[in-house]
Amino acid sequence: MKRFQGKNIVITGASKGIGTEIARQLSLQGARLILVSRDMRALTRVREDLITENKNAQIELIPCDLGDLRQIEVAAKKIISIMPSIDGLVNNAGYARPGYFHELPIDEFEKAITVDYLGAVRLTRLLIDAIATHGFISVTSSVVGYMGVFGYSSYAGAKFALIGFAETLRQELAERKIQISVLCPPDTQTPGYEEENKTKPKETLALSANAKLMTAADVAKKFIRGVSKGKFIITCNFESAMLYRLHGIMPSLVFRIMMSMINKAKKT
């Protein structure tokens, strides 16, 4: 039996990349989906593609900018009217703009916190009473959510905050038997990643030069497998899992390794 057959699941950031692939794989398992994104045209194309793959797909679309509290409130009401009981909430919406800290406009930090962090917090708060017992809530953080990376000062703050938020929910919602998971993908081939490459400092490019890009489909598989197994932190490949453990045990060693790579890049 498929783990998510007949489950009601809400996915934000579903119009592209990892969010689209999570939607695809859950749809193929027979989940009933509400897809949320500010890009309604892209959402419509995603739904058409998913119905082509699975004629029995049950998919509703709700446009919402996760950086706008009023839109989140409207979207939450629509979600509850469609799904009074929610089995899964996938907080996946987010964006990143890498750059040198001293060159990034201050509003980039505000935007990152508003969209990546507060967007998830606000939607979760408005839907929390509708989350079913034995349901799950997930947030998409990043490798940059558990270790800072050169060039990602605005992004790292928001992604670190998501992990702290999730750790707290994990404790508070344990009595309701609601599972909390944090997806921490490494570099992944998505439209967002391509956009990030336009502003990455050379040091940031050097840090990821030898890393193999994951596909959004593979990240989605890891996510679904991790949620099915009840994992809290979901790393997606050997390298990111190793970094997670090593950074937790010997953060100074990770720092020295990264600084060696950064300093080498500075000389080129």
Q: How far apart are CA 219 and CA 202, in angstroms?
A: 26
Comparing CA positions, the residue from 92, 89, 153 lying closest to residue 119 is: 92
- State how many domains the chain has: 1
- Whether 1 is in a domain gets the answer no
147 confidence band (pLDDT: 50, 70, 90): very high
pTM here is 0.95
Q: How confident is the model at residue 7 (pLDDT cuts 50, 70, 90)?
A: very high
d(CA 170, CA 22) in angstroms, rounded, equals 22
Q: Does residue 2 lie within any of the structural domains? A: no
pLDDT exceeding 90 applies to what percent of the chain? 94
What SS3 class is residue 250?
Answer: coil
Catalytic residue check, 117: no
- Please tell me the predicted confidence (pLDDT) of residue 151: 97
Q: Is residue 251 pLDDT above 60, yes or no?
A: yes
Range of the domain at 107: 8-266
Domain assignment present for residue 3? The answer is no
Question: How do residues 151-165 score in pLDDT, each as one tens digit?
Answer: 999 999 999 999 999
pLDDT at 1 over 60: no
Catalytic residue, chosen from 7, 16, 159, 222, is 159
> Domain of 217: which CATH number?
3.40.50.720
In a domain, 80, yes or no: yes
Q: Of the listed 142, 152, 155, 181, which one is catalytic?
A: 155
Residue 2 has pLDDT above 80, yes or no: no
Let me know if residue 257 belongs to a domain: yes
The residue annotated as part of the active site, out of 141, 153, 154, 208, is: 141
Looking at residue 267, its pLDDT comes to 84
Confidence of residue 212 (pLDDT cuts 50, 70, 90): confident
**Catalytic residue check, 231:** no
> Would you say residue 244 lies in a domain?
yes
Q: Is residue 236 part of a domain?
A: yes
Compute the distance between CA of residue 150 and CA of residue 201 in angstroms, rounded to an integer. Answer: 8
Q: Is 95 among the catalytic positions?
A: no
Residue 53 placed within a domain: yes
Chain segment 75-131, per-residue pLDDT in tens: 999 999 999 999 999 999 999 999 999 999 999 999 999 999 999 999 999 999 999
Q: What is the pLDDT of residues 177-208, one digit of tens each?
A: 999 999 999 999 999 999 999 999 999 999 98
Residue spans of alpha helices (H) in the chain = 17-28, 40-53, 69-82, 106-112, 119-127, 153-172, 191-196, 202-207, 216-228, 238-249, 251-266
Tracing tokens 């840090």 back to the chain, one arrives at: 207
230-258 mean pLDDT: 95
